Amino acid sequence: MGVGLIKGITVVAPPQEIGSAAFEHIKKINTSWVCFVPYGFIKPGHSQVLYGSQWQWWGEKKEGVLTCILEAKKQGLKVMLKPQIFIPNGWTGSLDFESEEDWNRWETSYRTYILDFATLAAQQQVEMFCIGTEFDKTTVKRQKYWQKLIADVRNIYPGVVTYSANWDSFEKIPFWKHLDVIGISGYFPLDDETNPEVSLLITKWKPVVKKLADYSHKHGRKILFTEYGYMSVDGCAGKVWEIEKNKDKLNINHKAQSHSFEALWQSFSGQEFWAGGFVWKWFPDGMGHEGYPEKDYTPQGKPAEKVLAQWFSK
């Protein structure tokens, strides 16, 4: 792949315009890459992808994405652009349609969305582009569509191309051979203990590391954690989908978050197959959070930030 070990952070699209100061802190903790996510939306029960609307946040629209790319590059940061679909009260992994008409509407609008940002990525010499995130059903049911989409992206964009599979479905993705790197949302559930020790989590990682190493070798591609992270709450190394739902009942726990990051980096650092990853997530200038940053995935201003800074410096 030729991009080195990616020490990356996903920067939340800010509601309002930001400048270079927002990226200086990221640079200070030895980050080498940032990921920008210009969200598109699908209304529940509909198939049309909507994006670039006036009601969207500044950082989700093309002008905002462009500014963020330029400001990041001023800091010497490399960039992955990761257009991602949000479905209110839904999940892309469950996206499915009964009629061919709905499939065609979704495929046409999603292609327009992806190629629009692939064009921007090419124009700004963005280093990596992600064509989709956690489409568990569509990637299996509509394989020819995805292969054609990859080819269309490559006709526009000359950089590294990946896809972000969910941690429990990456083995079902049928088109890794057409991509440059295997992207995985690395939220592997390890242990539900409130305050897990680093040594315990490293033990829990061992079979996962072995599985990923074998999979990487089989496909001749390195594995990138397109997302990884932990909420700063009790038991954050467990089942993230349950933790998110129960966050209001869980105590703030910086130790558990720090230990989880430490164990991940101890487990994967130096593994030849691992290309690094992008921490989920960082609020630029403190903007874009959903009201609970003290419990959210962000490491900023928490002990976990120092853990990452140490690993990123190596």
Q: What is the DSSP string of 208-233?
A: HHHHHHHHHHHHT--EEEEEE---SB
Q: Assess contact for 40 and 49: CB atoms under 8 A.
A: yes
Query: Which residue ranges make up each domain of the chain?
Result: 6-312
Say what the pTM is. Answer: 0.97
Residues ≥6 apart with Cβ < 8 Å to 284: 11, 12, 14, 18, 22, 23, 59
CA–CA separation, 17 and 163 (whole Å): 28
Residues in the chain: 314
User: What is the C-alpha separation between 124 and 290, in angstroms, rounded?
Assistant: 30
* Mean local confidence (pLDDT), 119-139: 97
- State the CATH class of domain 6-312: alpha beta
Q: What is the pLDDT of residue 102?
A: 95
The predicted model gives 299-303 an average pLDDT of: 97
3-state secondary structure of 2: coil
What are the residues facing 166 on neighbouring strands? 185
Band of residue 46 on the pLDDT scale cut at 50, 70, 90 = very high
144-165 tens-digit pLDDT:
999 999 999 999 999 999 999 9
pLDDT of residue 189: 98
pLDDT at residue 1, rounded to an integer: 61
Q: How far apart are CA 119 and CA 112, in angstroms?
A: 11
Cα separation, 179 vs 82, whole angstroms: 15
Q: Minimal CA–CA distance to 278: which of 10, 3, 2?
A: 10
pLDDT classification of 24: cutoffs 50, 70, 90 = very high
Q: With beta carbons less than 8 A apart as the criterion, state whether 126 and 158 touch.
A: no
